[in-house]
Amino acid sequence: MTENAVVATNLTRRFGDFTAVDHINFEVKTGEIVGYLGPNGCGKTTTIRMLLGLLEPTEGSASVLGFDAFKQTEEVRARCGYMSQKFALYDDLTVLENLVFYGGVYGIKDRKRVQETLNLVGLSGRERELTRGLSAGWRQRLALAIALVHQPKLLFLDEPTSGVDPVARREFWELIYQLAAGGVTIFITTHYMDEAEYCHRVGLMKDGRLLAFDQPSALKQTVIRGEAWDVAAASLTVMVEKINQIEGVIQTSLLGDLVHVIIGPKKITKDQLQAKLSQLGLGEVTLSAGEITLEDVFMSLTR
Amino acid sequence: MALINAVNLSRSFGQTQAVDRLNLSVESGEIFGLVGSDGAGKTTTLRLLVGALRPDSGSASICGFDILTQTDSAREKIGYLSQRFSLYEDLSVLENIRFFAEVRGLELKDWKPRCMELLKFVGLENFTERRAGQLSGGMKQKLGLASALVSRPQILLLDEPTTGVDPATRQDFWQLIIRIVAAEGMAVILTTPYMDEAVRCNRLGFMRSGRIIAEGTPSQLRDRLEGQIIEMQTNAPIALREQVLKIAGVQDARAFGDKLHLRVAPLEAQQVIQQLHSLTGGANPRLIPATLEDVFISLTLSEEAGSHD
């Protein structure tokens, strides 16, 4: 049986004249990992605060784990875990002391559960280490342990891998996949496309509205109706301006040693683009097949 | 000529070797990315380069000036946007940048045109009177950049400049950096833990435990991956991973949202793809270019394996 962990129905929040969240609708299945993206101030945090029952919707409703998020706040919160980007760990406490302290906040007194949580995130053996001395990756795991100690069914992660290197990030995601496979639903906000790519589905908000909500691969196909080519040339800043003037070019972005170009299908072919670029007299130009990225999707929807 | 030069730069804090015999040179017009996690030594490297910290050994020079013996001349050439860059929230945009100009010793007749030129460049010319505290995150970042540029530095050091900034704003910020570097021939060092950020630099150094473990252009680094990456669609990445790991030639398999990424031994890709076809049918396996993340991980793992010998 697949039931929905989160159902938002016409969820709306106004602050005075300002509509922070504007009639959004979505469903998140149990065990699903959802990434939530959008520019600063787009309404992501307001949405999460409504889902956690911290803020009353002006209109619409949200059901979280079968409870009304606002009217049954206690039930919801007891079943949700939250890990913030700026998680507050006590640096002068040990790993174990931090977890025991936060577990106590949730009423977890069972040492066995505390130990299980440490095992789960791979921190067993480090119980007595001072939190101050932990690397970014280990701190992040401790923060995750704190969010997990009361066995939540829904986990909110706010930019969870800020400041963590790719190896630690992959390991972190292995854990997240394990939790999701065990039926925990995961809701993640992020600004980084590296991270969004790991999610099962990605929602994209702008100006309070939910513009898209789909699998990363589906978004790349449906939002970007074109193909990507990466252009290598000598003077990229001049080149990017010229490329933008060519008919059939949908969007460009500058990478360090390449211009990433999206061209519209049936409007211009790779060979035509190559020919036009060679005629500019800006030296040798090479095109290689590019990949459509989630960043392309984000740009296209938010611009 | 390299505008930034570091030779065997080392610095420890107690037992921690924060920067370990680091060598680095960055030329005019180049954006060099130092990529690594918190604690890898990125910020310490920048602080050594601006002379805010003394190295235990090794040396660094900025535009030919030794940072230890010719500190003032070297520092004059540097614009530094630190991670904890602080604006005076109750001062206006113009007052903030003016403050930086005066600290940098710009003459009265010079500071205003220079500040206005930079505010225009970063798109803040219509917000000169707004209090910095009222700016959005992206605008604060741009004001920080303008302030770092006010003394016409030849060297720009940016410590995780776009942390917490959304992708559209980030793209704007990068366009500014790339344009000004091209126009003024500056040398830039930028730090980041994110690969989608790193890919925009001209050259990268992957940093771990105070050392640069690999260096090159993004394309050169991608070529250093031994083997190839196959991507396949799946609704059950965890279950499928168990199966594909049994195929000969598959070295690693990682879940990636609704996809699985397989790293396969050199020359084994076609053979593996054929087996994947018969294993799964509709999963549409295909070769994709290695990402910088794949490279970073494989280099780090082989480094760790090596250090256990």
Counting the structural domains of chain B, the total is 2
Residue A226: what residue type?
Answer: G
Measured distance CA(B27)–CA(B46) in Å, rounded: 16
User: Which whole number is the average pLDDT over B259-276?
Assistant: 88
Do both B77 and B198 map to the same domain?
yes
CB contact at 8 A, B100 and B80: no
The average pLDDT across A51-59 equals 93
Tens-digit pLDDT profile for residues B112-145: 888 998 999 899 999 999 999 898 888 888 899 9
Please tell me what DSSP assigns to residue B186: -
CB contact (8 A) between residue A194 and residue B293: yes
Query: What is the per-residue pLDDT for A7?
Result: 97
CATH number of domain containing A51: 3.40.50.300
Domain end point (choices A220, A242, A272): A220
Confidence of residue B259 (pLDDT cuts 50, 70, 90): confident
Residues A187 and A210 reside in one and the same domain = yes
Is A249 found in the same domain as A136?
no
B182, B11 contact by CB (below 8 A): no
B294 to chain A, closest Cα gap in Å: 9
Backbone phi, psi, residue B213, to 5°: -90, -15
Model pLDDT for residues A163-195, shown as the tens digit of each residue: 777 888 888 898 999 999 899 999 999 888 878
pLDDT greater than 80 at residue A237: no
Do A57 and A183 sit in the same domain of this protein? yes
pLDDT, position B85? 66
Q: How far A228 CA lies from chain B's nearest CA (Å)?
A: 13
Residues A297 and A206 occupy one common structural domain: no
| B260 and A CB contact within 8 Å | no
Chain B residues in contact with A198 by the CB 8 A cut-off are 255-257
User: ipTM score here?
Assistant: 0.71
For chain A, how far is it from start to end, CA to CA, in angstroms?
A: 40
pLDDT band at B240 (very low <50, low <70, confident <90, very high): confident
Residue in chain A closest to B171 (alpha carbons) equals A253
Cβ contact B165–A193 (<8 Å):
no
In a domain, B15, yes or no: yes
On whether residue B295 sits in a domain, the answer given is no
**Same-domain check for residues A255 and A175:** no
Answer for the pair B206, B220: CB distance below 8 angstroms, yes or no: no
The pLDDT score that the predictor gives to residue A1 is 42
Residue B222 DSSP class:
H
Residues of chain B in contact with residue A192, where contact means CB-CB under 8 angstroms, are: 194, 196
Contacts of A42 in chain B (CB under 8 A): 166
Subunit contact B167:A295, Cβ cutoff 8 A? yes
Give the residue on A whose Cα is nearest the Cα of B256: A198
pLDDT of residue B84: 67
Mean pLDDT of B35-50: 91
What's at B82, amino acid-wise? S
B103 vs A: CB within 8 A? no
Question: Residue A90 corresponds to which tokens in the numbers above?
Answer: 């006590």
pLDDT for the residue A63: 96
Contacts of B222 in chain A (CB under 8 A): none
Residue B219: band (very low, low, confident or very high) from pLDDT cuts 50, 70, 90: confident
Average pLDDT of the residues in B264-292: 85
Angle ∠(B33,B225,B299) on CA atoms, nearest 5 = 65
Instruction: Supply the pLDDT for residue B157.
Output: 95
Tally of domains in chain A: 2
The C-alpha atoms of residue A266 and residue A264 are separated, in whole angstroms, by 6
Q: What is the pLDDT of residue A2?
A: 54
The domain in which residue A258 lies consists of 226-302
Which segments of chain B does DSSP mark as H helices, in order?
42-49, 71-76, 93-103, 108-121, 137-149, 167-184, 195-198, 218-223, 237-244, 269-280, 292-307
DSSP state of B53: S
Q: Which domain holds residue B24?
A: 2-217
A254 in the same domain as A212: no
* B88/B99 Cα distance (integer angstroms): 9
- Which is nearest to A146 in space by CA: A99, A112, A184? A99
Q: Residue B280: exposed, middle, or buried by beta-carbon count in 10 A (0-12, 13-18, 19+)?
A: middle
Between B163 and A59, name the one with better pLDDT: A59
One domain, residues A207 and A66:
yes
How far, in Å, CA of B217 to CA of A254, rounded? 15
CB-based contact B31 A168, cutoff 8 Å? no
pLDDT digits (tens, 9 = 90+) for B145-195: 999 999 899 999 999 888 777 787 888 888 889 888 888 899 999 998 888
Indicate if A73 and A205 belong to the same structural domain: yes
* Interchain contact, B37 vs A302, CB within 8 Å: no
Domain match, A9 and A98 both: yes
pLDDT tens profile A98-137: 999 999 888 888 889 999 999 999 899 999 999 988 888 8
Is B224 in contact with B299 (CB distance < 8 Å)? yes
Tell me, yes or no, whether A12 and A49 share the same domain: yes
Amino acid at site B270: Q
So what's the pLDDT on residue B307? 59
C-alpha torsion B151→B155→B199→A257, nearest 10: 100
User: Is B180 within a domain?
Assistant: yes
If asked whether residues A206 and A66 sit together in one domain, one would say yes
pLDDT in tens, B72-108: 999 999 999 987 667 888 999 999 999 888 888 888 7
